[in-house]
Amino acid sequence: MLLLALAGCSIDMPPADFAACGPAPALDGGVAAPDYWHDAKPIFDRKCATCHVDGGIAPFPLLTYADAREWLGLIRSAVERKLMPPWPPNDCCQEYQHDRSLSAVDRDTLLRWIDGGGPEGDPATATPSMPQPPPQLSRVDVTLMMPTPYTPIATEETSDLRCFVVEGWPHDEEVFVTGFDVRPGNPAIVHHVIVQTVEASAVPELKAREGADGRAGFDCRNLRGELHVNGGVGGWTPGSVPQESPDATLGVPFPAHSQVLLQIHYDVRAGVTMPDQTEIHFQVATSVKHRMRALVAANPLWLANDGLEIEAGDPDAMHNFAYDPSVYFSKGEPFFLHAVNLHVHFLGSHGRIGIHRADGSWDCLLDIPEWDYHWSSWYQLAAPVQFNPGDLLYVECHWDNTAANQAPVNGVAPAPRDLHWATAEEMCAALGLFTDTWP
């Protein structure tokens, strides 16, 4: 009934009219020619060294002058095209916490340094700096891991959606998750992770499903709406960083007498069948000032009636949807959005989330002009945005379903085909985290 009601109040509308960037301000370029020690190294340390370290996710380190000198051409291209550091949001849409992007001044400094030949300079003039450590929670109170490793199998759908009951949650009473981090055991194949809570009374029935097909966990593509699944605690997609609320200001309820249900979508397009054993870190508090909840914007007809149709060969398929979530999530009262996430799969080209105000104006929440699934993430707003009854939460997704944009399967790009809403095909959803009050 909720799906039908939600679909009934959706609004047909043209693409949103927001997040148009004007020309970048001109920079005077400074006077002195930049060098590595005084100018470039502090930028590498602040913005690059989290990933560009030995053993890091990046393909090469950027910790020394020799490292940077070897890759000058590649660095210039990535900086000029704003591909690195990876920060997909349009910078004229909204301000976010933990912004990884380069400022206009930093970009100008690096480009002038490279164009000047990448001089080393004098170490004695080095600007004090040090590489930033990988992001992690300031405190971990609970650590849970999949009970056994799981090796996904390649299917004709090129994906494997699996659920695991992870027992061992140490709190019987209601607590609040104020910090959350997912550590995939095998990042090469983990497409996304959803952490939910399930009533302890339902655990035996869920556990009985495990191993029924001879493998760890159980297939959970049809789990929605059954077995006392309470709701989501958090999620992870490539590019996600640990989420933490300082001083227990915000927290997601973890119901009393519950355990963790872990849902993982494995991407096996490349035929990779190595095992995974994902780990989750939690920071918890017994009370918080504001209870955080989640909402979603996606047209139910996309799920139910193959309404999300993306025709083979279409270079710019587009679907959008808008509705008033206050009717369902806040009893018709205002609420405050703190974070947003756009969920599209591999053929996405660009997308956006916004608020169409009751007076006809637009507020941009997230605009991704060049979609890259491997850098999708939650984006925490620098300041919460108030949503009022009568406003519409809007999501818009675009796809390039031409032959040149197909995601390879076992190293071979398939021919384009008609796509719909499916785990192994495409999706379009705006996700949000909100509180009823602020501050």
Could you tell me the domains of the chain? 1-16+292-439 (2.60.120.230), 36-125 (no CATH), 135-289 (2.60.120.310)
What length does the chain have? 439
pLDDT for the residue 20: 63
The dihedral of CA 328, 334, 338, 343: what is its sign? positive
Q: CB–CB of 198/284 below 8 Å?
A: no
* Per-residue b or e along 1-11, where b marks 16 or more CB atoms closer than 10 Å to that residue's CB: eeeeebbeebe
Q: Would you place residue 267 in the very low, low, confident or very high pLDDT band (cuts 50, 70, 90)?
A: confident
pLDDT for the residue 102: 93
Share of the chain above pLDDT 90, in %: 63
pLDDT for the residue 19: 63
Q: Would you place residue 2 in the very low, low, confident or very high pLDDT band (cuts 50, 70, 90)?
A: very low
pLDDT for the residue 111: 96
Give the Cα separation of 232 and 211 in Å (integer). Answer: 24
Give the Cα separation of 386 and 338 in Å (integer). Answer: 9
Lowest mean pLDDT among 32-41, 318-327, 341-350, 406-415: 406-415
Strand, helix or coil at 202?
helix
Q: CB–CB of 194/235 below 8 Å?
A: yes
**Whole-structure pTM value:** 0.85
Which residues fall within 8 angstroms of residue 331, CB to CB, at 6 or more apart?
A: none
Lowest mean pLDDT among 18-32, 155-169, 209-223, 419-433: 18-32
Q: Which residue has the higher pLDDT, 154 or 324?
A: 324
Q: Which residue has the higher pLDDT, 154 or 47?
A: 47
Which residues fall within 8 angstroms of residue 359, CB to CB, at 6 or more apart?
A: none
Q: Would you place residue 18 in the very low, low, confident or very high pLDDT band (cuts 50, 70, 90)?
A: confident
Lowest mean pLDDT among 35-44, 158-167, 379-388: 158-167
pLDDT for the residue 7: 45
- Token pair belonging to 39: 């100018």
Give the Cα separation of 41 and 127 in Å (integer). Answer: 8
Q: CB–CB of 62/49 below 8 Å?
A: yes
